[in-house]
Amino acid sequence: MRTTKITRLTAAAGTAAVSLALITTPAQGATSRGDHDDRHGHHGKGIELAFLGRVTTGAVGTGASEITAYDPATRRVFVVNAQNGTIDVLDIRDPRAPLRVMALAAPGANSVSVRGGKVAVAQQAEDKTAAGKVTLFDARSGKRLKEFRAGALPDMVTFTPDGRRLVVANEGEPSSYCEGAADDPEGSVSIIDIARGTVRTAGFRAFDDQAGRLRAQGVRISGPGASVAQDLEPEYVTVDGDTAYVTLQENNAVAVVDLDRAKVERITPLGLKDTGRVGMDASDKDGKIDIRPHVGAAQMYMPDGIAHLRSRGRTYLVTANEGDGRDWDCHADEVRVKDLNLSATAFPNAAVLQKDEELGRLTVAADSPRDASGAYTRLHAFGGRSISVRSTDGALVWDSGDQLERLIARESPENFNADNEENDSFDSRSDNKGPEPEGVTVGEVRGRTYAFAGLERVSGIVAYDMSDPRRPVLADYLSTRDFAGSVEDGTAGDVGPEGVLFVPAADSPTRRPLLVVGNEVSGTTAIYEVR
């Protein structure tokens, strides 16, 4: 199909927005087809994301706008402002001119969720290895209602669909891996019964004696001296009924939690993506766009955000495969391929492969597979650079392959794999996770289900039609980053999307669905309409 690119100016002066009415490109597990293809029931003409307005904090690079939540009764958006230690409250009754109306004091805030007029905020302790808490506020008055104890570094909180419980992903990051100074709390999931005021913890100690089995299955356990429970770091949660699916990003796995029993039922490894079959641009030093397969390497999916949808009576998980390494004072697990001793058997062309324009610059895991002599036999890169659909048992149903990199290469080639810290940064992230899809959400638009994901580095929003979860279709892409401005000076528009929130049409002040995006680097909260 012919791709149509529409360039238009947003409401913010000087910020160019590029949108695609519909793009279809081949992806792993998918076929390319036009907007009227009847073979799989795809009759629509796609959607369009349209910029409406933004709130700017004026704080750049400090996490002044991260996760967002929405209360339909008050038409308010609640935004994590880590810079100020607050939840900023925005009135979006007119989303073209949103207003900041108050701030809730919440030191250490990492995440926010709203349900039934209550605002839940996950807050880490001043010492992040100590127990954190979840605080409930009234959405209208901002009054503090209750506090609940959580685990170490509560990184994400969400209400269950019935509003009775809160589910908290306690990441449990260490303070250091230095000898004699290690303080590595266990990762866990807190289940809070709001009415009863009880907190139960689903921990991972039951898996401590299963490290060998888990590693053999593909669960990455790599912290020096860490037990399984210490090494597993819950990141993000989606809740389907009485079951929570929790990403374990650094571990390239998902935990399945029974909320009624407060028990981790299983840890599901997510496997590897063979870059001998799926392309990627692996070098930041070749001065060009070069997306192609690389034999001998593989990508660990390592999702951050996770959402779910139902189709034909089945639940599917949707993940944004960002990737994340560990970089501490006395422990770093990211190494460059050119610095490794490669097995001559596995890599007979090692001298060529380790050149900068090949795989030499690619950052891979220090714990990638090695032979008895210590030579590397395979190279595991961080992040799938993709969106995936999986069944609830973890089986891969569909993956976007190298589609996201190819999308940016086609639509914004001069900013391909750019960084979010500066605008003049073409190709600078090719060696390290590429565009980094981070947050993902799903929502229904005129009877069709879509997934929306933020690309953290290049700073854009991508939408997929998920009507057939086995064959999603790329439906739209929008960036309100201004590459003519300065990220450091705060004139670059919306940079570094972190949290992506869908507001259904029935709850929207415009009576059309909205996307509300917290941009961590630019410190802006942007509002888009889904048309």
pLDDT digits (tens, 9 = 90+) for 264-298: 999 999 999 999 999 999 999 999 999 999 999 99
φ, ψ of residue 245 in degrees (nearest 5)? -110, 120
Do the Cβ atoms of 104 and 140 come closer than 8 Å? no
pLDDT digits (tens, 9 = 90+) for 119-148: 999 999 999 999 999 999 999 999 999 999
Q: Does the pLDDT at position 43 exceed 90?
A: no
Do the Cβ atoms of 341 and 376 come closer than 8 Å? yes
Q: What is the pTM of this model?
A: 0.92
Q: What average pLDDT does the segment 436-464 reach?
A: 97
> E strands of 41-171, at which residues?
49-56, 68-71, 76-81, 86-91, 99-105, 109-115, 118-123, 131-138, 144-152, 154-159, 165-170
Q: Does the pLDDT at position 407 exceed 60?
A: yes
The percent of residues above 90 in pLDDT, for the chain, comes to 88
- pLDDT number for residue 16: 38
Do the Cβ atoms of 405 and 390 come closer than 8 Å? no
pLDDT digits (tens, 9 = 90+) for 63-115: 999 999 999 999 999 999 999 999 999 999 999 999 999 999 999 999 999 99
- Specify the CATH class of 5-280+394-426+458-465+476-530 in words: mainly beta
Indicate the average pLDDT of the chain.
91
* Beta bridge partners of residue 133, listed in sequence order: 123, 149
- Domain coordinates in residue numbering, the chain: 5-280+394-426+458-465+476-530
pLDDT digits (tens, 9 = 90+) for 330-378: 888 999 999 999 999 999 999 999 999 999 999 999 999 999 999 999 9
User: Which range scores top for mean pLDDT: 5-19, 37-51, 305-319?
Assistant: 305-319
Q: Which residue has the higher pLDDT, 217 or 183?
A: 217
Q: How many residues does the chain have?
A: 531
pLDDT digits (tens, 9 = 90+) for 491-525: 999 999 999 999 999 999 999 999 999 999 999 99
For strands 253-258 and 263-269, give the pairing.
antiparallel
Q: What average pLDDT does the segment 30-53 reach?
A: 54
162 burial level (CB within 10 Å; 0-12, 13-18, 19+): exposed
| 183 confidence band (pLDDT: 50, 70, 90) | confident
Residues 6 or more apart whose Cβ sits within 8 Å of residue 487: 60, 61, 420, 421, 422, 423, 495, 521, 522
- Find tokens 């306690």 and name the residue: 170
For strands 297-300 and 306-311, give the pairing.
unpaired
Do the Cβ atoms of 125 and 106 come closer than 8 Å? no
As a whole number of angstroms, the distance between CA 32 and CA 156 comes to 36
